[in-house]
Structure 1
């Protein structure tokens, strides 16, 4: 009879380095308490690294900077995938994702249809904020970010350069998606988006 820990060790060896590991990945190997304790021991032995509460990784290593831990963005993506929830970057995170800001936000705020919570990843925080289905119904990858980024900039606060950049980005979006997403935006944002069509 193999112990829960040795089964988990075997399973972890099959997971590529850099891929996030959740206790739920091993639920068929033992009780949630046994899995939690095994992961805690493996972290103490440094076989895995704890990225955030209940999230681990077999870190990739770099000869110059040592262990590479997944970014807060990668953690947010992995949680969304695990929980099968939709998320949408907002605020300064949306601005950064579009390249309208070079500042890397310390707090990532994501609108979600999942449960609201806050997770610390190193010095950064991921906040999942509950929102209405309407806010998550935008189809375009770029247009949904544009709506959130412009909301962050605020009405009449965008510079000509920002507006030109937004229009340029929207031109890479499927026009069908823009047509759909325009209806979800405030009127002043609709005016800017229409310039891309």
Structure 2
């Protein structure tokens, strides 16, 4: 008996750990587009999968205390980057949020990318991928790249003493080599701010 497209998809998603993001492209070898879409629809109805966005699905984590846990915006953005073999980097107010400079989660989350620019709606939020130069994506430190992008977003004349001190405190946790590498890529005013009284 030939295994149905639905069973093939179910077998594949059950082999992956919960919380993994899947794309329609992950199942192309199982059948034609119509059969795959129908099978995914049925698996969503059977609550085996949740639809994250158009053409994007997840087998969510089921926590006994918190219930169903969907992937974070970061996990979704990184899954898209892996699929597209692209680099992505959170910028603007989302970089500020990730650093703890603001508690407000932005509704429009912007990532720099070296892949094509696009917008993806995730519930009430929108992920915007903005095409950026290689220089903007060359930072290697997890914290230093966020700090540089957050400062760029705040602006030279708007950054407060409190924000500068908070960023300096955060950057103490960055690997020195990563920080030095990333500061060479940063605008001069940011370099001066961070390097003063380090």
Q: More displaced, 173-182 or 134-143?
A: 173-182
Q: Secondary structure at the match of 1:119?
A: strand
Between the aligned partners of 2:129 and 2:37, the Cα distance in structure 1 is: 24
CA distance in structure 2 between the partners assigned to 1:128 and 1:96 by the alignment: 17
| Partner residue, 1:114 | 115
Paired residues for 1:5-154 under 5 Å: 5-63=6-64, 66-154=67-155
Q: Which runs of 5+ in 2 are unaligned?
A: none
Which residue of structure 2 aligns with residue 3 of structure 1?
4
Cα offsets for 1:123-155 (capped at 9, x unmatched): 111111101111101122211111110011111
4+ aligned runs moved over 3 Å, structure 1: 62-66
Q: Which residue of 2 aligns with 1:163?
A: 164
Q: Tell me: CA distance 1:196–1:15, structure 2 relative to 1, closer, same or farther (3 Å).
A: farther
**What's the offset of the Cα at 1:195?**
2.7
Distance 2:21 2:178 in 1: 32
Q: Is the 8 A contact 1:61 1:68 kept in 2?
A: yes
Provide structure 1 residue ranges, at least 5 long, that are not aligned to the other structure: none
User: Residues 196 and 13 from structure 1, CA distance in 2 versus in 1: closer, same or farther, beyond 3 angstroms?
Assistant: farther
Q: 1:151 to 1:66 in 2, by over 3 A?
A: same
Deviations 1:89-136 (A, max 9, x none): 111100011111111111110000011111111111111110111110
CA contact (8 A) 1:72 1:125 kept: no
Count how many residue pairs are aligned between Structure 1 and Structure 2. 197
Larger mean CA deviation between 42-51 and 92-101 belongs to: 42-51
Greater alpha carbon shift after TM alignment, 18-27 vs 141-150: 18-27
TM-score scaled to structure 2, two decimals?
0.90
**TM-score normalised to structure 1 length:** 0.91
